[in-house]
Structure 1
């Protein structure tokens, strides 16, 4: 007999397998034991959710603030603002775009690759050249 290959299941695939076994009438301990034997991995059990009638195998959206406000639109808007007025402050950009001052700093430094030189925003490349000349 040839050994079965090791296959990694995603969380949602494992939940579908659990749902299938639950609908067959198997207990949580049986499902867990069988999945552990076959999949060689430990997946969190969702059988208690199935018992309460929640048969969705995907995570439900969570309330609260989104995990990230980094979007292409905001980066583009910020880039346009800086090119229209190179003396614009990060605080003003934050107020206009309704994002935190820290997020504006992250955008400018990491995404737009710019720095403040004196009172103007310039490319980091320009500041490196300026440092080499000075």
Structure 2
């Protein structure tokens, strides 16, 4: 089939959801060069995962020592972006900020209130 025929066939089949002509052209060129995989090739420069156990444990140790750290301060100390640090705190360590302290989410509201008012650290 020619490129034009392929484009028409895909447009008839998919309608408005059909990829653009330039995308189909790229797919055909890749196929001619011998590419058979539909997966993306690995690329350099992709962001690395900072939520590794080493970073998670380092952040946990810092937060346990001083629960009053802000996201910006923790990011600076550990050389991690604020977004990644928030992900570590919220998703990996399951912590919330309560009254200027990081507190594990599993505490009840009453436990959080008591720990923040009395200055207890858990």
TM-score using structure 2 length: 0.52
1:17 counterpart residue number: none
Q: Radius of gyration: which is bigger?
A: 1
2: CA distance between counterparts of 1:131 and 1:35? 60
Deviation at 1:125, TM superposition (A): 4.1
Classify the secondary structure of the residue corresponding to 2:107.
Answer: helix
TM-score, length of structure 1 as denominator length: 0.49
Name the residue aligned to 2:96.
115
Cross-structure match for 1:55: 35
Distance 1:127 1:116 in 2: 14
Runs of 5+ consecutive residues of structure 2 not aligned to the other structure: 118-122
Cα RMSD, aligned residues only: 3.7
Q: Matches of 2:51 and 2:87 in 1, distance apart?
A: 12
Q: Distance in 2 between matches of 1:36 and 1:119?
A: 56
Structure 1 portions without partners, runs of 5+: 1-25
CA displacement, residues 2-45 of structure 1 (integer Å, 9 cap, x when unaligned): xxxxxxxxxxxxxxxxxxxxxxxx322333455567xx433541
Q: 1:81 to 1:131 in 2, by over 3 A?
A: closer
Q: CA deviation at 1:80?
A: 3.5
Displacement after TM superposition at 1:78 (Å): 2.1
Residue 49 of structure 2: aligned partner: 69
Write the distance in 2 (CA, Å) between the matches of 1:80 and 1:29.
61
Note closer, same or farther for the CA distance 1:50–1:117 as it changes in structure 2 (3 Å cut): closer
